[in-house]
Amino acid sequence: MQKKIAFISDHASPLATLGGKDSGGQNVYVAEVAVQLALQGYQVDIYTRKESEEQEQIVYWKPLIRVIHVEAGPVRILPKEELYGYMDEFSSAMVNFIQCNELSYHLVHAHFWLSGMVAMTLKKQLKIPFVITFHALGAVRRLHQGCSDKFPKVREQIEKDIIWQAERIIAECPNDLKDLIQHYQAPQDKIEIIPCGYNPKDFHPLDRTEAKEKLGLDPAFTYILQLGRMVKRKGIDNVIEAFSHAQHLLPELRLLVVGGNLQAEDDHAEFVRLEHLCNALNVSDKVIFTGQKTRDTLKYYYAASELFITTPWYEPFGITPLESMACGTPVIGADVGGISFTVRNGETGILVPPQQPQQLSAAIVDLITDERKRIRFAVNALKHVRSFTWNKISESIAQVYEQCIPMQREKEAIEQIKDTFMGSSRTFELAAEVLAGGIARLAYKMVDVLRHGKKIMICGNGGSAAESQHFAAELIGRFEIPHRPGYAVISLNTDSSVLTAWANDFGYDSIFSRQVQALGQSGDMLICLSTSGKSANIINALKEANKMDITCVNLLGKDGGQATAYGEYNLIVPSENTARIQEVQLHIIHQLCALVEQQMNMGSISKQHHIVHKKLIA
C-alpha cells in the first residue's frame, strides 16, 4: 500500500526562487526530501501558503508530488515574522481541503514552528500524527537577535506544545538536539538526529577555469565565495570586513556575494548597508554582488571559487557547506550549529568564531597561500560528503516515518477500542432504562411456562443461532445455582439433520416453523433472537406459534422489524449497531437465566419446606 505523507511548509515553497530573505535552506530541504521520498514510493503533498494570484491551487510538480497552495492572509509575499496571525486560517483551509477531497494521510511532516501549529490542529481534528523539523528554534534566535527578533513572544511556548504533541522531532545536528533539551526540556527519546544533505547530480567537481568562463569571471583573479540569504544574521558583513584585511595581502583576491533579491525591500536594505560597508573599507570594486541565482548555476560559483565562506551568528544546519565540499571547494565556516557538525576542522576546512573578522581573515590568507592544504581539504571533503546525499538522508527520514505509522495505528486501535467500550456502555445504560421492566415480566412468564410443565423453544440465525444454543444450555444445565433440576428448553438450531434435510427439500424459510409445528404445544413458549426482526424463517415460526397458542417472545434490535407484530413480548435493544445489539441481547439472556433460576429455586425451596413441615406434624 502506497503511503501518503503531507508536508506543511508555510513560507518555504519548493517552487520558490532561492536566495531571498525567506527562501533558502528550508525550501531546498522540503524539495529534495519530497523528491527522494517519492522515489521510495511515498506520495507527498506539500502544503504551502499562496503568495500570488497566478499560483494554481494544485501544482503537479513531479511524479507522486503535488504542491498545494493554501490561502491564508493576503495573497502576496509576506515576511515569515508576520504569518503567525494567519495560521488558524491556514489550518482551517487545509482541513477543509483534506475533507472536501476525501484525502487520507498516514503522517504529516511539519517544517518550521508555524507549520507545527497547523500540524497540531490536524492531529486534533483529523487524528493525523506528525513529525516536526523546526529548522530554527525561537529560543536560540532570541539569544542571538534579542530585541531585533520580530517573531511573537508566544513562539517558544508554542514550540514547547509542538514538541510534546509531535510523535518524533528531527534535529539536524547534535547542537540542535542540545538546544531542544536545554531550552525546551524535549524528551530525548523523541528526537532523531538526521542532517541535511546535498544532491550529487547538482553539485560535483567542475574545472575551475571552465566555471569562471561560464560565469564570465576574469580568470586573472582569485575568487572566494559567500552564498546565502541576504539577512544580517548570516554575517556577510563579517566576511566583507575579513576580505578587506586579506585583500591587502592578496591584491588578486575577489569576493563573490551570491544571494538576495536586490529589488525586494528587506533585501535591498541589507544590500545598501553592505554596500556602505564596502565603500567604507574601500573594496567596492572588489566585491561582486550577483543577487539571486538559480540552483542549476550555483555549482559554477562553488567551482570557480578557491574557498567558500559562511560565518553566520548561528545556523541550525546549513546546506551550503555540504554543496561546496561536494564541488571540491574547501569551507571556512563559523563554529556554530550544523556548520561545526559538517565541516571537519583541519580536514575539510577551517572553523572560526562568528563575528571575528580578524580570525576569518587569517584563515582566508592561510588557505589561499597554501595550495597543498587546499587540495588536501578538497580531497577529504569529497570523501566526507558521501554520507550526506539526500538519498541517504531521506532513507533515514523514512525510517522515522515507519516508526511513527505503526505507533499511530496502535493508538488508533486503542482509541477505537475505547470508543467501542464507551458505545457499548451507552447502549447498556439506555437498554437498562427501557428494557428492565420487560425483562422482569418475561422472566416471570418463563417461570410460569416451566412450572406448568411446558417447554421453551429458542431459535435464531447466524450469531443469534449460537446464542439460542447458549441460552438453552444455560437453562438445561445451570447458570448460577448448582444442583438444580434441568428446565425444559430446546434450541431449534441444534438438529443439523432436520435443518439440512428440510432446508434442502423445502427451503430455509420454514426450518423453524416446521419444528414448532412438530414439537410445540399450546402453553409452550417460542423465543426468537434476531437483530433486525426481518428474517423470513423467524416470521414464519412466529406465525405458526401464534396459530398453536404458543407464547411468542422476540429479542430484537433496531426498529424491531416485522417480528414485533407477532410477539407478545418484544424486547428491542435501542441501537442500530448489530454488534451492540448482540452484546445487549447476551446480557438479557444472562439476566433471564439468573431470574428464572432464582424464581424456580424459590418455588423448589418452598415445596421442600412444606414437605418437611408435614413430616414434623405427623
Spatial contact of 529 and 459, defined as CB atoms under 8 Å apart: yes
- Residue 142 burial (CB count, 10 A): 17
Are 166 and 218 contained in the same domain? no
Asked if the structure places residue 428 within a domain, the reply is no
CATH of the domain at 19: 3.40.50.2000
Asked if the structure places residue 179 within a domain, the reply is yes
Alpha carbon distances (Å) from 495 to 102, 499, 515: 50, 6, 10
Q: Which of 479, 564, 494, 490 is nearest to 520 (CA)?
A: 490
pLDDT of 533 reads 96
What would the 3-class secondary structure string for 462-493 be? CHHHHHHHHHHHHHHCCCCCCCCCCCCEEECC
Residues contacting residue 31 through CB under 8 Å, at least 6 positions apart: 14
The H-or-E segment that residue 529 falls in is strand 525-529
| Mean pLDDT within 265-274 | 83
Are 186 and 251 contained in the same domain? no
Are 500 and 357 contained in the same domain? no
Rounded to the nearest integer, the mean pLDDT of the chain is 93
> Above 60 in pLDDT, residue 19?
no
User: Which of 386, 421, 448 is the last residue in one of the domains?
Assistant: 386
CATH of the domain at 522: 3.40.50.10490
Are 490 and 581 contained in the same domain? yes
The H-or-E segment that residue 61 falls in is strand 58-62
429-441 per-position pLDDT tens digit: 999 999 999 999 9
Strands 525-529, 551-557: pairing is parallel
347-389 per-position pLDDT tens digit: 999 999 999 999 999 999 999 999 999 999 999 999 999 999 9
Asked if the structure places residue 365 within a domain, the reply is yes
Are 329 and 474 contained in the same domain? no
Spatial contact of 88 and 81, defined as CB atoms under 8 Å apart: no
Are 467 and 320 contained in the same domain? no
| Mean pLDDT within 159-178 | 96
Percent of the chain with pLDDT over 70: 95
327-340 per-position pLDDT tens digit: 999 999 999 989 99
Q: Can you point out the beta strands (E) in 386-495? A: 456-460, 489-491
Asked if the structure places residue 396 within a domain, the reply is no
| Mean pLDDT within 293-318 | 93
Lowest mean pLDDT of 70-74, 408-412, 460-464, 521-525, name the range: 408-412
114-137 per-position pLDDT tens digit: 999 999 999 999 999 999 999 999
Residues contacting residue 168 through CB under 8 Å, at least 6 positions apart: 131, 132, 190, 191, 192, 400, 403, 404
Spatial contact of 87 and 118, defined as CB atoms under 8 Å apart: yes
- Domain count across the chain: 3
Asked if the structure places residue 421 within a domain, the reply is no
- Residue 302 burial (CB count, 10 A): 24
User: Which of 386, 421, 451 is the last residue in one of the domains?
Assistant: 386
Are 554 and 460 contained in the same domain? yes
- Residue 201 burial (CB count, 10 A): 9
Q: Which of 141, 139, 122 is nearest to 131 (CA)?
A: 122
> Above 70 in pLDDT, residue 274?
yes
83-120 per-position pLDDT tens digit: 999 999 999 999 999 999 999 999 999 999 999 999 99
Are 376 and 444 contained in the same domain? no
Q: Distance from CA of residue 354 to its chain's centroid?
A: 38
Q: Which of 558, 559, 574 is nearest to 429 (CA)?
A: 574
Are 185 and 221 contained in the same domain? no
Confidence of residue 150 (pLDDT cuts 50, 70, 90): confident
Alpha carbons 452 and 447: distance in angstroms, whole number: 9
Reading across the β-sheet that carries 525-529, which strands appear in turn? Answer: 489-491, 456-460, 525-529, 551-557, 569-573
> Above 70 in pLDDT, residue 183?
yes
Asked if the structure places residue 615 within a domain, the reply is no
Q: Which of 84, 374, 85, 110 is nearest to 222 (CA)?
A: 374
User: Which of 131, 166, 194 is the last residue in one of the domains?
Assistant: 194
Asked if the structure places residue 415 within a domain, the reply is no
pLDDT of 266 reads 66
Are 48 and 175 contained in the same domain? yes
Asked if the structure places residue 184 within a domain, the reply is yes
Give the predicted TM-score (pTM) of the model.
0.69
Are 189 and 233 contained in the same domain? no
Residue-number span of the structural domain to which 480 is assigned: 434-608
The H-or-E segment that residue 450 falls in is helix 390-451
Spatial contact of 95 and 75, defined as CB atoms under 8 Å apart: no
> Above 70 in pLDDT, residue 546?
yes
Are 379 and 508 contained in the same domain? no
Nine-digit cell string for 164: 510534546
Q: Which of 187, 197, 195, 193 is nearest to 162 (CA)?
A: 187
